[in-house]
Amino acid sequence: MSNYSKNSLMQFINPKPDDIEICDVTLRDGEQTPGVVFSREEKIVIAEKLDSIGIEAIEAGFPVVSEEEEATVREIAHLGLDARICCLARSVAKDIDVALRCDVDFVSIFIATSDLHLKYKYHKTFEEAKSCALDVLDYAKDHGLTVRFAAEDATRTDINILKSIFKSAEEHGADYVSIADTVGILSPRTAFYLVSEIKKTIRTKVCIHCHNDLGMAVANTISGAEAGAFQLHTTINGIGERCGNASLEELLVSLRVQYGIERYDISQIVELSGLVEQYSGIPVPRIKPIVGANAFSHESGIHVAAVLEEPMTYELFAPEMVGAKREIIVGKHTGSKALKGVVQKMGYDLTNEQMCVLLDKVKKCGEAKRKVTCDRLSEFISELE
């Protein structure tokens, strides 16, 4: 039997987003989370782990920010990873010079395209900003760089304007164009529509970069992929500005469970999540999908009894698939059958009378908001003898 439950509805879904690659932006966008700074050593560990999982591209940083950032990006670019390394650059020639010194595989040049950003951030007309961006794109291509041309706040840009600048970028040699949902305004349907419309206009590979302000970043990324987006952007644990970005672990497991895309080694996901939790200082919520402490925890009596007999009754996929472990919790909601199963797995054989006494102790402990661990349960059992 497979270690995950297949979605029988997926056979009716078309198309399958199998022509994709993932660009993880934890080291750049993730580090823009307020209060987060990764050390050089931490960035290298994260990059190496992403590479071992099979992530195709890693955005190593924004090297123009500081000499230390530039040195770190350069070092990651020279680690000899299979993943291609990129860095971020403004539409400024100086940023391209720094990217060249870093010896990255490709550079992501961005320019904001929405009226809101043009008026209040750049104080320029669209044509002025476009001309500046295309000049820098030309400069990067003239120096032999592979270029991802990113439209910041693309999802609040008039779609005809967006098509226009992406078409121009293609004509100037851009290797990718990137749709940035900068404030997370997309929904799955609008993500699919937008990517589909852009794909009608250009032949260049399309990237989608989603923020999570409405909690739909992963869903929007998947919808974009279904519409033909090639490069999907993520961060580990979904960290990033404000409410974060599309979560790497949620996307990887969704691709496997929903579409059977198995080329990524997701058995390392929990370990990687823990590293980023430690390095960033941002706790992973207990209820976070895939890597949260509760992802494979069961307490309700009916659930526990079923899981003890067949885990797939209440688990979409086996915890071992992502490097996690199942936890059976006994407490207020534990039933007699579930408790008996837990006790037997611990190696005890209690009478019905003993089980009734033990269940009463467990429920009282749970109602007092005290967690009943296996050690505590063993203590309760020893008091019965």
Per-residue pLDDT tens digits for 187-230: 999 999 999 999 999 999 999 999 999 999 999 999 999 999 99
| Residue with the two structure tokens 């949902």 | 181
- Those residues whose C-beta lies under 8 Å from the C-beta of residue 102, and which sit 6 or more positions away, are 60, 63, 70, 73, 74, 77, 87
3-state secondary structure of 150: strand
Q: How far apart, in whole angstroms, are the C-alpha atoms of residue 179 and residue 196?
A: 12
Q: Does position 2 have pLDDT exceeding 80, yes or no?
A: no
Q: Does position 79 have pLDDT exceeding 60, yes or no?
A: yes
pLDDT of 1 reads: 46
pLDDT of 159 reads: 98
**pTM of the predicted protein model:** 0.93
DSSP 235-249: BGGG--STT-B-BHH
Q: How far apart, in whole angstroms, are the C-alpha atoms of residue 210 and residue 207?
A: 10
pLDDT of 238 reads: 98
Q: How far apart, in whole angstroms, are the C-alpha atoms of residue 236 and residue 71?
A: 23
Residue 232 pairs in a beta bridge with 22, 208
DSSP 90-135: ESSHHHHHHHHHHT-SEEEEEEE-SHHHIIIII---HHHHHHHHHH
Q: Does position 232 have pLDDT exceeding 50, yes or no?
A: yes
| Residue with the two structure tokens 């940023």 | 95
3-state secondary structure of 151: strand
CATH of domain 18-280: 3.20.20.70
- Those residues whose C-beta lies under 8 Å from the C-beta of residue 360, and which sit 6 or more positions away, are none
pLDDT of 365 reads: 87
The single-letter code of the amino acid at 207 is C
Which spans in 242-299 are helix H?
A: 248-259, 269-280
Q: How far apart, in whole angstroms, are the C-alpha atoms of residue 20 and residue 22?
A: 7
pLDDT of 130 reads: 97
pLDDT of 11 reads: 55
Going by pLDDT thresholds of 50, 70 and 90, the confidence category of residue 344 is: confident
In CATH terms, the fold of domain 297-384 is Recoverin; domain 1 (1.10.238)
Q: Are 330 and 373 in contact (CB under 8 A)?
A: no
* Average pLDDT along the chain: 93
Sign of CA dihedral 187, 189, 194, 196: positive
Sorted by where each begins, the domain ranges of the chain are: 18-280, 297-384
228 Rama class: left (phi>0) / alpha (psi -120 to 50) / beta: left
Count of residues in the chain: 385
Rg (CA), the chain: 25
Mean pLDDT, residues 135-163 taken together:
98
pLDDT of 28 reads: 98
Q: Does position 314 have pLDDT exceeding 90, yes or no?
A: yes
Per-residue pLDDT tens digits for 151-184: 999 999 999 999 999 999 999 999 999 999 999 9
Going by pLDDT thresholds of 50, 70 and 90, the confidence category of residue 67 is: very high
Q: Does position 10 have pLDDT exceeding 70, yes or no?
A: no
Q: Are 266 and 321 in contact (CB under 8 A)?
A: yes
CATH topology identical between 18-280 and 297-384: no
Per-residue pLDDT tens digits for 89-109: 999 999 999 999 999 999 999
pLDDT of 9 reads: 64
DSSP 160-222: HHHHHHHHHHHHTT-SEEEEEETT----HHHHHHHHHHHHHH--SEEEEEEB-TTS-HHHHHH
Q: Are 110 and 152 in contact (CB under 8 A)?
A: yes
CA distances from residue 176 to 61, 88, 108, 169, 231 in whole angstroms, order as listed: 18, 14, 9, 9, 9
Going by pLDDT thresholds of 50, 70 and 90, the confidence category of residue 131 is: very high
Q: Does position 3 have pLDDT exceeding 70, yes or no?
A: yes
241 vs 18, residue with greater confidence: 241
